[in-house]
A and B are shown apart, each in its own frame.
Chain A
Amino acid sequence: MDDKLNDLPCGFFTLTNAGVITEANRTLLNLLQYESGDMLHHHIEAFLTVANKIFFHTYFYPYIQLHGHVNEIYLTLKKKDGHEVPVLLNGVLRERDDQVYIECVLIEMRKRIEYEKDIVNAAKKLEELNKEKDAAHEALKALHKELEKKQEELTDLNRTLELQALTDGLTGVSNRRAFQECLDAAFAAFARSRNPFAMVLLDIDYFKRINDTYGHPVGDEILRRLTQELQAQIRSIDVLARYGGEEFAIILPGANRESAVIAAERFRKSIEEADWGEYRVTISLGAATVSEEDTAESLIAKADQALYASKSGGRNRVTHSED
């Protein structure tokens, strides 16, 4: 080997096609701290770690056989003292005198390999961070879903509460507050359409006596049954509300004086004729039909006065405020 080749600024060696070293330049020997006799006629495997051997056999060898060259292969060679030298290697397949050879050059990769390892480590860390980020994202999504569910539950609860706030707990019909809202709505509709409506206030006759004689559970049961009875009598557009104690209010959209009285009379009769068992239950009613000058307060007052008139007139009867 001439001096120029021997002292190239890179390692140079030749292998037989079976992998035996036939030439190695001084630069390579110095790098690995071998005498030329240590390397010549030895298989390249002798200078490779186990993993490098596998790599050599599974990649380097088949690839160079098929493509005639390999470029930028990273390998680790064993020095005489057992230390490892990372190198970057290029090889070509050459034919001389009917013999196939593999010629290789290599350079030491010491600094570059450290950078490379840093990059690999950074990449791995990044991958881990990405995984953590994804996991956190998933957790956040789960929390968000839970929040949505809770919000839905809250909305449902609100709806229930709202309903409860407008409903009478004992009888299940509208309470006084809901009645007030319906009455306001009826006045608003009246202002727009001039279509009349009426309201009826009714009261169970001698209810205090029933309560005192038979007890509150019986009184409550009568209130419930009365509600059912009235509900069966009213139209779907009518509003029945428990106004307080044993007092109920009904709004009758479209009712003038005459039809309000007919309806009220029907209510009275149905209660009187209903089967109350051992009890006798009747109601007194006061009806009032809206007029131009009326407000909610004045209409209620008129119905209340009519109811009072029915009471004082002997109970179990209907009075209209205009009677």
Chain B
Amino acid sequence: MNDMAASVFDRNNVRISGKGERPILFAHGFGCDQEMWRYVASEFEQNYRVILFDYVGSGRSDLNHYDPAKYGQLSGYAQDVLEIAKELDLRKAIFVGHSVSGMIGTLASIAEPDLFGRLILIGASPCYLNDVPDYYGGFEKKDIEELLTMMEMNFTGWASYLAPIVMNNPERGELAGELEKSFCSRDPAIARQFAEVTFYADCRRELDKVTVPSLILQCSEDSIAPKEVGDYLHAHLKGSTLKVMQAKGHYPHLSHPEETTRLIKEYLETEYA
């Protein structure tokens, strides 16, 4: 492994397993890390090369690489996906993206279509904010603002996170350790920026640039990515297949791993048969 690859793999905590050749990347969503795929990813190890990773700021990624300017937009995260794919020399990889990762993978596929064979989007949304009268994303700006405040309160715990003071206060380091234990995102400031980038993102204009075929897995009652959003994606992504799942909620890969696995496998088998 060369130095560049080593640094990319450390940065994004890249984990590779599986006996197959065809690469399948699982990309976690906002507020999570690669652990989210524990019930699904293992089901692909027999026939695929399974690649898991954490976005910078999440899971066991290297926080030293966090650059607020780069990760102030989804394209910064997409760039990391591309770097991982290039270092692994992937061709026609299957990209499974949950939640915001659906759009991150979509952006990556627009930049380098040859790296991706299929996109599988679980609970993805091109835009969370409503844009009346043409678009229903499910959320108003005030909802997102309230969410950011809630996150602030939850991350800070009751001792409150005083951003400017913590920086000059090394003795508060033990608090950081506790935060690390309490959520998947380790740094409150990073989690907040990731939330802003995620929930204020608008990728609608990018969708018609996508050339890689896709499967949209739409949960039957997902209050984060409602049915209207799945329909919108299906209408705007060329070569997309829409499957409405029995699963309800926003985490079918946690709540209904069998159904999730089955639908992905069915799609891949028919597509490649």
Contacts and interface: CB of A to CB of B under 8 A. Distances in A.
Interface residues of B, number: 43
A72 B221 CA distance: 27
Interface string A58-89: 11011101100001111110000000000000
B183 interface: yes
B150 interface: yes
A66 B31 CA distance: 13
Nearest to A19: B249
Contacts of A185: none
With a 10 A CB-CB cut-off, give which of A51, A61, A112 has the most chain B CB atoms: A51
B183 A63 contact: yes
Contact of A58 (B152, B161, B221, B250): B250
Interface in A275-289: none
B223 A53 contact: yes
Given A55-B150, A120-B160, A66 B35 contact: yes
A265 B148 CA distance: 97
B254 A50 contact: no
Contact of B31 (A43, A62, A112, A130): A62
A55 B185 CA distance: 13
Contacts of A52: 150
Contacts of A119: 160
Nearest to A65: B254
Interface in B213-251: 221, 223-224, 248-251
A54 B143 contact: yes
A57 B249 contact: yes
Contacts of A62: 31-32, 36, 184, 251, 254
The list of the 5 closest CB pairs from A to B, nearest first, reads A51-B146, A51-B147, A58-B31, A50-B143, A57-B250
17 contacts: A50-B143, A51-B143, A51-B146, A52-B150, A54-B199, A57-B250, A57-B251, A58-B31, A59-B31, A59-B154, A62-B36, A63-B183, A66-B36, A123-B161, A126-B165, A127-B162, A127-B163
Interface of B: 29-32, 35-36, 38, 99, 139-140, 143-147, 149-154, 156-158, 160-165, 182-184, 199, 221, 223-224, 248-251, 254-255
Interface of A: 17-19, 43, 45, 49-55, 57-59, 61-63, 65-66, 71-76, 112, 116, 119-120, 123, 126-127, 130
